[in-house]
């Protein structure tokens, strides 16, 4: 049975052995970086060595971790632990028997079944702290991440602002984190609202696309078409615009089809509560048949802009018109 204490990535702290697990590379890199910075605040003379388990040479870990002449504190960061061979695992085992007081060893394991022997060995050792960096996929988890970032940065943001950022940076987590830092630094101590986020990132494809989708789904045909034409003139690609419509309609379908307890909806649907509330409000203007037709309309437009049609702009404008008109 494992003896290891397990904490989330934001609960990291110094320990003789730090095992960083999970597939979210951005969070793992952040753990590496922030642990180094924390130790260096107290011990500026910290010496950092980076090793790669995938290209490990026998004896390297023991050599780097051996007592130094002047007793400087050291941090050894080991990448790709899951790819380490028998020599690497053997050296880790040897090191666990003679752990040095002035050394922190951080081992990165990207998840999966590879390197199980290494995981079992490290987790069974009482000095190991495991830091989980699970991939952040669900919108609810991304919203929680944004809220935690703003708390860390000492600024307040309302739910709509958090939602706008999650929608605007639906891809890379590092972009989302950078956006939080940038917008927090420019907010000048003010509370961050959706209007602030929309103005700040005006012209970004994801923001513009979701704005068009929101207006169309709300039934505001004239405003949806106006925003669409502005988006096209600004160079917004039809593909992410259609993806925004598809994402919004999927949210409506998930919420509309949910029959579980309202208190469990956020967990069961993988959506933050504000998004569920927004979808429920939008669903008042939809029926099952009109929602089904809208989903087919978006699928048709997606096919048209990806080669089945000759005029992508016409296909997108027709989609917006039909979704907004419920036709």
Predicted confidence at residue 1, as pLDDT, reads 44
Q: How far is CA 26 from the centre of its chain?
A: 8
**Kind plus residue range of the DSSP H or E element containing 131:** strand 128-132
Predicted confidence at residue 205, as pLDDT, reads 56
Predicted confidence at residue 253, as pLDDT, reads 93
d(CA 3, CA 123): 6
Nearest Cα neighbor of 320 from 240, 233, 219 is 219
Query: Taking the model in full, what pTM does it have?
Result: 0.66
**Category of 66 on φ-ψ map: left (φ > 0), alpha (ψ -120 to 50) or beta:** beta
Predicted confidence at residue 104, as pLDDT, reads 96
Cα Rg, the chain, nearest whole Å: 25
d(CA 323, CA 327): 7
Domains of the chain and CATH, by start: 5-132 (3.40.50.300), 136-201 (1.10.8.60), 203-327 (1.20.272.10)
Inter-CA distances, 113 with 55, 78, 83, 124, 320, Å: 19, 18, 11, 17, 46
d(CA 35, CA 28): 11
pLDDT 10s digit of each residue in the chain, 327 long? 456 899 998 889 999 999 999 999 989 999 998 999 999 998 999 999 999 999 999 999 999 998 776 678 999 999 999 999 999 999 999 999 999 888 999 999 998 888 999 999 999 999 999 999 988 888 888 898 999 889 888 899 999 899 888 877 766 788 788 888 888 888 877 889 988 887 777 656 565 788 888 899 999 999 899 888 888 887 778 888 898 899 889 989 999 998 888 888 888 888 777 788 888 989 999 999 999 999 999 999 999 988 877 888 899 999 999 999 987
d(CA 45, CA 206): 45
């Amino acid at each position: 049975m494992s003896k290891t204490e397990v904490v989330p990535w934001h609960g990291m702290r110094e320990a003789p052995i730090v095992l960083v697990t999970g597939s979210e590379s951005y969070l793992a890199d952040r753990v590496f970086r922030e642990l180094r910075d924390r130790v260096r605040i107290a011990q500026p003379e910290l010496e950092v060595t980076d090793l790669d388990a995938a290209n490990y040479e026998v004896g390297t870990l023991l050599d780097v971790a051996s007592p130094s002449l002047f007793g400087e504190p050291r941090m050894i960061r080991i990448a790709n632990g899951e790819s380490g061979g028998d020599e690497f695992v053997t050296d880790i085992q040897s090191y666990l028997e003679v752990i040095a007081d002035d050394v922190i060893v951080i081992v990165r394991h990207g998840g999966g079944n590879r390197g199980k022997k290494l995981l079992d060995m490290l987790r069974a050792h009482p000095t190991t702290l495991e830091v989980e960096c699970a991939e952040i996929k669900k919108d609810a988890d991304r919203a929680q991440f944004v809220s935690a970032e703003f708390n860390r940065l000492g600024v307040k943001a309302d739910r709509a602002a958090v939602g706008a950022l999650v929608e605007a940076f639906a891809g890379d987590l590092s972009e989302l984190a950078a956006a939080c830092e940038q917008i927090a630094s420019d907010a000048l101590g003010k509370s961050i609202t959706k209007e602030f986020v929309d103005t700040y990132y005006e012209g970004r494809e994801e923001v513009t696309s979701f704005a068009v989708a929101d207006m169309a789904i709300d039934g505001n045909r004239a405003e949806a078409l106006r925003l669409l034409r502005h988006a096209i003139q600004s160079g917004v690609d039809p593909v992410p615009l259609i993806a925004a419509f598809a994402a919004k309609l999927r949210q409506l379908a998930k919420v509309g089809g949910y029959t579980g307890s309202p208190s469990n909806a956020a967990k069961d649907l993988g959506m933050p509560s504000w998004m569920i509330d927004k979808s429920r409000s939008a669903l008042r203007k939809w029926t099952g048949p009109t929602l089904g037709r809208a989903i087919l309309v978006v699928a048709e437009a997606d096919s048209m802009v990806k080669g089945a049609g000759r005029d992508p702009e016409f296909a997108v404008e027709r989609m917006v018109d039909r979704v907004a008109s419920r036709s």
